[in-house]
């Protein structure tokens, strides 16, 4: 039996060609699931790697002559306080697909699509159906019944002129996770383009049991942490290094060091195999000890990315971080001893910002630099506004305070940024960068 041909498209997820690229692990995982069924021939086109993304897309569709198309929308916008919307190139892409292949069914998915599935289906009639959240347990059933999609969790489709979504469950057992077939999209091309950020990622778990007031991770992946076997994770890392020459990876988890024993086991396995790999991830602050921080460094961690988010206790409490300022400083003391580059991410102009919280924010910045100054182990402090996401605490507070209303469209970039302290981010940028320059320049 002749296999049906499926072309999966990674939509544009960056502002320009000078932006660091990310290997699209999600769409490669999807393609691998489809390919393993034995009924479909899969190819993948990443628009972010094309010099002429629109023209190359049209040429690829014409050359491949697929039977089915799929498109992944990973990001709604680039964040980082910017107001660019990636729905602009997404809309253009869908128009071009409709012109080049008007008769083909078009599936949609991806992180951004999963945040606004019904809205995006309504906004873009070119989309036939889609998957919200994980695809392991529903993609093959959807492909087999594109003309009448089953009501399985995570499937969204059009029925009798209406959009119908069966809510996802986020319960896929990660013990059943299979390493993606990266031959579908060669990672080696991605190793050539980035100067700073690790382009290739590895999943060690899904889900997040925390409920930070601004974050959509639990909405997307569920509240239950579902972990892979540590040996399977290291098998994948070793395979990437040996087959593709990958020397630096990013562990894509929402929080890489929870559960603590899971990351510890991964690092111990890396050391047991004597793998020389560099890796990074986002860590939770109150889980560090000097012992495990040294273990992470010994196994190749090259950057501790922290996102405590709140610059004072009032902010930490409002954001439901379940952290204290002293825990942040304890972590800084531990990591300064280890000497690996540490990057802090904080949010500014959060609900309840006032003169007192601003003073306390500056005091925390001072304390962090004082701790890291001798070892010069702080890379930078990243300051961002809160991008208001649906179904979060910050959205509710923004509505209650009148910062947004029923006419506010969260599909496009909207930040929590009340006028009273709208310039605070710049004030704190100057405040911390002055200390950063002084530290690296040796200026007292």
DSSP string covering 350-399: -TT--HHHHHHHHHHHHHHHHHHTTTT-EEEEEEEPEEP-TTSHHHHHHH
> Is a pLDDT exceeding 70 seen at residue 4?
yes
> In sequence order, what are the residues at sequence separation of 6 or more whose Cβ sits closer than 8 angstroms to the Cβ of residue 64?
5, 7, 43
pLDDT band at 17 (very low <50, low <70, confident <90, very high): low
Q: Topology of 174-441 in CATH?
A: pyruvate-formate lyase- activating enzyme (3.80.30)
Contact 381, 346 (CB under 8 A): yes
What predicted TM-score, i.e. pTM, was given to this entire model?
0.95
> Is a pLDDT exceeding 90 seen at residue 299?
yes
Average pLDDT (150-167) is 95
pLDDT band at 368 (very low <50, low <70, confident <90, very high): very high
The CATH number of the structural domain formed by 4-165 is 3.40.50.2300
In the chain, domain spans: 4-165, 174-441
Integer Cα distance of 443 and 441 in angstroms: 5
Q: Nearest-CA neighbor of 336 among 307, 365, 368?
A: 368
- pLDDT, one tens digit per residue, over 376-430 is 999 999 999 999 999 999 999 999 999 999 999 999 999 999 999 999 999 999 9
Quote the pLDDT of residue 83.
86
For residue 199 the two structure tokens come to 């382009």
**Mean pLDDT across the chain, nearest whole number?**
96
CB neighbours of residue 293 within 10 Å = 22
- pLDDT, one tens digit per residue, over 191-203 is 988 877 789 999 9
| C-alpha distances in Å from residue 208, one per residue of 220, 226, 397 | 9, 9, 22
Quote the pLDDT of residue 93.
98
DSSP classification of residue 153: T
- pLDDT, one tens digit per residue, over 248-279 is 999 999 999 999 999 999 999 999 999 999 99
> Is a pLDDT exceeding 80 seen at residue 20?
no
Quote the pLDDT of residue 214.
96
Contact 411, 76 (CB under 8 A): yes
Quote the pLDDT of residue 18.
63
Average pLDDT (73-85) is 87
CB neighbours of residue 353 within 10 Å = 22
Contact 320, 396 (CB under 8 A): no
Orientation of helix 355-372 relative to helix 424-441, angle to 10°: 20
HSE-up of 10 (CA within 13 Å, CB side)? 25
Contact 7, 72 (CB under 8 A): no
For residue 161 the two structure tokens come to 């002129």
């Amino acid at each position: 039996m002749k296999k049906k041909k499926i072309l999966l498209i990674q939509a544009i997820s960056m502002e320009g060609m000078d932006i660091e690229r990310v290997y699209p692990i999600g769409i490669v995982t999807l393609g691998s699931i489809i390919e393993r069924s034995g009924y479909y021939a899969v190819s993948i086109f990443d628009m972010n790697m094309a010099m002429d993304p629109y023209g190359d897309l049209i040429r690829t569709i014409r050359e491949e002559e697929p039977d089915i198309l799929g498109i992944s929308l990973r990001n709604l916008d680039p964040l980082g306080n910017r107001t660019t919307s990636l729905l602009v190139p997404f809309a253009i892409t869908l128009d071009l697909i409709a012109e080049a292949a008007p008769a083909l069914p078009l599936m949609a998915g991806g992180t951004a699509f999963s945040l606004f599935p019904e809205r995006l289906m309504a906004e873009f009639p070119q989309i036939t159906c889609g998957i919200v959240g994980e695809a392991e347990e529903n993609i093959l059933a959807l492909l087999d019944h594109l003309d009448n999609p089953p009501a399985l969790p995570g499937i969204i489709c059009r029925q009798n002129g209406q959009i119908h979504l069966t809510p996802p469950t986020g319960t896929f057992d990660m013990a059943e996770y299979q390493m993606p077939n990266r031959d579908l999209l060669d990672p080696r091309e991605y190793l050539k383009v980035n100067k700073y950020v690790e382009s290739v990622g590895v999943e060690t778990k899904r889900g997040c049991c925390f409920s930070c007031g601004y974050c959509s991770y639990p909405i997307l992946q569920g509240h239950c942490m579902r972990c892979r076997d540590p040996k399977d994770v290291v098998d994948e890392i070793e395979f990437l290094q040996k087959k593709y020459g990958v020397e630096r990876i990013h562990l894509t988890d929402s929080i890489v060091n929870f559960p603590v024993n899971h990351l510890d086991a991964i690092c111990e396995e890396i050391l047991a195999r004597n793998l020389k790999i560099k890796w990074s991830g986002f860590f939770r602050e109150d889980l560090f000890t000097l012992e495990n921080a040294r273990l992470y460094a010994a196994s190749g961690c090259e950057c501790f990315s922290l996102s405590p988010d709140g610059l004072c206790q009032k902010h930490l409490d409002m954001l439901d971080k379940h952290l204290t300022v002293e825990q942040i400083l304890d972590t800084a003391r531990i990591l300064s001893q280890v000497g690996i580059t540490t990057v802090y991410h904080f949010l500014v102009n959060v609900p309840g910002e006032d003169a007192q919280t601003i003073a306390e924010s500056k005091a925390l910045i001072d304390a962090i630099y004082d701790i890291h100054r001798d070892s010069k182990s702080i890379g930078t402090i990243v300051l961002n506004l809160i991008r208001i996401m649906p179904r979060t605490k910050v959205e509710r507070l923004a509505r209650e305070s009148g910062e947004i209303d029923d006419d506010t469209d969260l599909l496009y970039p909207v930040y929590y940024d009340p006028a009273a302290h709208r310039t605070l981010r710049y004030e704190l940028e100057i405040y911390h960068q002055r200390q950063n320059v002084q530290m690296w320049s040796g200026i007292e």
